[in-house]
Structure 1
Amino acid sequence: MPSLSALLLSAGTSVLAALHVQAGTYNLYQNNVGADFLQNFVWETTANPSGGAVEYTTQSAALAANLSYAYGDTFVMRVDDTTTLSASATGRQSVRIKSNEQYTTHAVVFDIRHMPQGCGTWPAIWEVDDTVGVANGELDIMEGVNNVSPSYTTLHTGGSCTMPANRTERGSTATQSSGNNGCSVSSPYSSTYGPDFNANGGGWYVVERTNQAISVWFWSRQDSTVPATVSGGGSTINTASWTSPPIAYFPSSSTCNLSANMMSHNIIINTMLCGSWAGSRYSASGCPSTCIDYVNANPAAFSNAYWDFAALRIYL
């Protein structure tokens, strides 16, 4: 996952930026509930990145170790919380899954009851073609580290791509840079991430991607304004009917042509430990020891480092 250390924002303004362009109605294409995840996603065993403390497992190994399991309307993927590791260990076992199919124009509803929390954790939901990295663009729908709210949503492109400052979104866009470092939006709600998210029973993230714009919404489980088609798993959703602005909004423009920068992407969900962001922010987050030493020596600290999905619904 690319670093969030530097972030992109153009100081320019435009009339188009103030418009919230949406595609409108989408039909349910794939309804992932419980065991559907086992069929429609592959378990990736990518190499531990620099500064990381994770060892991703295969699906069979994850199921055998109870790091992944599904029953009824529940799908869980979690970090090992029983093994004390040596200093020479590759990392703590975790799970990273990727959709079998790739998508361009689409919408996805992520119905999440619980996300990983704890010092050293870096949970993320993102879309990318990870065989080529950021060259075909990347959208980090939500991620955060070390129990520090809120979540972040970030657009990455392979080249120089700038976003207008006056676009319609609830979140706050951070300082500027270019290219791989991305344009990152901080959510306005602490309930979007970590302990606050989990205390509320989770919530719904929704992403819409078209050639005109990319939008990400969030509703807490306690939010009465969530659209009924989102909370109820409707067979269709109509994003144009929603009155709530997204927490993050990335319009296509002359300074960032989305159709040229964002290609076909898989959906990826994972829990990294330490690494370039969680590791670099570890001490500043009030976490003890060093990130890798803490991960290795404290398995019980990761008992809450798990995802619990009620559903993942893909609309086309």
Structure 2
Amino acid sequence: MSLAVANAYNLVQTYNAGNWLDSFTVENIGDPTHGFVNYVDEGTATSNGYISTANNQVYMGVDHTSVLNPSGTGRNSVRLSSNRAYTHYLMIADIAHAPSSTCGLWPAMWSYGPNWPASGEIDIIENVNSATNDQMTLHTAPGCIVSPGAQTGSMGATDCGAGGGNNGCDVVSNNGGSFGTDLNGVYATLWESTGIQIWYFPRSAIPGDISNGNPNPAGWGTPAASFVGCSNGNFDGYFANHNIIFNIDFCGGWADGQWGAQCGNLASTCEQYVAGNPGAFNEAYWLINSVQVYQ
């Protein structure tokens, strides 16, 4: 089943180097996922070079020079939330560089609504440690059970509200360059009442209609992830009023949980490695050409 049809989509917002800090809030908050991270405020981020613009691109990165106490507050990083919220979108994220496939990292591009998990969460780009395949996940209040539409990725869990929304329902991409070091291209996410689809196009394969500003998902072929079902095909009961988030986390519930299997040869804990090896994270940054939202 394909959700995309040949609708006309209207551009409602472009985020780029010209308006990024006017359009996003730099969130100086404690990490909800208990990572070894210190999300700094906008002044600290800009003065230390964690956020900057050059060559019409937006850079968002982390401290990759300081040796830290593994029992301390964590490594300086950034978390940004769009000031505008959306219900339904066709979001086109043109990404020149993503945080690298490095042990200790947990970066993500995602969106979510108020009163989590009541308004849902869509994780578009996310994984941990040395992963190179993207894991796309929905989190909801209890009751949203999905099934796979036509997709190239592999579906795991189907109960998006399991564990109070913490577990989520997920699809893992079959593209080994869709996350981390080799990511360079466009992520396109279509969120409609009837479902949510996600495509990834490497730089060499971006559809012409995206490049010319007239995106037509009906012509893009099979998406990496296609979530259908939920409440008899009505996702609106579980997803609304989403802000767009970029963040770079360290350790935390997911990366810590995978540490022994993926990275245990480097240090006994994720926190010890992240604290003692700042140079490992010089490629832990987002470089964004633009994010465009159509409706």
Structure-1-length-normalised TM-score: 0.86
Return the alpha-carbon distance in structure 1 between the equivalents of residues 198 and 261 of structure 2: 28
Partner of 2:3: 20
Return the alpha-carbon distance in structure 1 between the equivalents of residues 85 and 274 of structure 2: 33
Which consecutive unaligned segments of at least 5 residues does structure 1 have? 1-17
Determine if contact 1:55/1:94 at 8 Å carries over to the other structure.
Answer: yes
Return the alpha-carbon distance in structure 1 between the equivalents of residues 57 and 279 of structure 2: 23
AA matched with 2:213 = S
Partner of 2:238: 261
Determine if contact 1:35/1:75 at 8 Å carries over to the other structure.
Answer: no
Aligned-partner SS, 2:193? coil
Determine if contact 2:4/2:217 at 8 Å carries over to the other structure.
Answer: no
Determine if contact 1:170/1:245 at 8 Å carries over to the other structure.
Answer: yes
Is 1:229 the counterpart of 2:209? The answer is yes
Aligned-partner SS, 1:139? strand
Instruction: After superposition, give the CA deviation of every residue in 1:22-70 in whole Å (9 maximum; x if it has no partner).
Output: 4722122222221321111110122134541000011111000000001
Runs of 4+ residues deviating >4 angstroms: 252-256
Return the alpha-carbon distance in structure 1 between the equivalents of residues 230 and 33 of structure 2: 35
Determine if contact 1:97/1:270 at 8 Å carries over to the other structure.
Answer: yes
Determine if contact 1:21/1:213 at 8 Å carries over to the other structure.
Answer: no
Determine if contact 2:141/2:160 at 8 Å carries over to the other structure.
Answer: no
Aligned counterpart for 1:120 among listed residues 104, 111, 114: 104
Return the alpha-carbon distance in structure 2 between the equivalents of residues 263 and 82 of structure 1: 39
Return the alpha-carbon distance in structure 2 between the equivalents of residues 50 and 189 of structure 1: 27
How many residues align? The count is 288
AA matched with 1:128 = Y
For 1:4-153, what aligned pairs fall within 5 Å after superposition? Answer: 18-22=1-5, 24-49=7-32, 51-117=34-100, 118-129=102-113, 131-153=114-136
Shift in Å at residue 95 of structure 1? 0.6
Is 1:185 the counterpart of 2:171? The answer is yes
State which drifts further: 252-261 or 281-290. 252-261
Which consecutive unaligned segments of at least 5 residues does structure 2 have? none
Aligned-partner SS, 2:283? coil
C-alpha RMSD of the superposition: 1.7
State which drifts further: 278-287 or 100-109. 278-287
Aligned counterpart for 2:262 among listed residues 282, 285, 290: 285
For 1:158-173, what aligned pairs fall within 5 Å after superposition? Answer: 158-165=141-148, 167-173=149-155
Instruction: After superposition, give the CA deviation of every residue in 1:71-102 in whole Å (9 maximum; x if it has no partner).
Output: 23110000100111123321100011010000
Aligned-partner SS, 2:146? coil
Structure-2-length-normalised TM-score: 0.92
Partner of 1:154: 137
Return the alpha-carbon distance in structure 2 between the equivalents of residues 81 and 195 of structure 1: 16
Determine if contact 1:22/1:213 at 8 Å carries over to the other structure.
Answer: no
Return the alpha-carbon distance in structure 2 between the equivalents of residues 284 and 145 of structure 1: 12
Return the alpha-carbon distance in structure 2 between the equivalents of residues 61 and 209 of structure 1: 34
Is 1:214 the counterpart of 2:214? The answer is no
Distance 1:277 1:253, change over 3 A: closer
Return the alpha-carbon distance in structure 2 between the equivalents of residues 76 and 135 of structure 1: 32
Return the alpha-carbon distance in structure 2 between the equivalents of residues 84 and 256 of structure 1: 50
Aligned-partner SS, 1:280? helix
Instruction: After superposition, give the CA deviation of every residue in 1:158-183 in whole Å (9 maximum; x if it has no partner).
Output: 11211125x21111001454511211
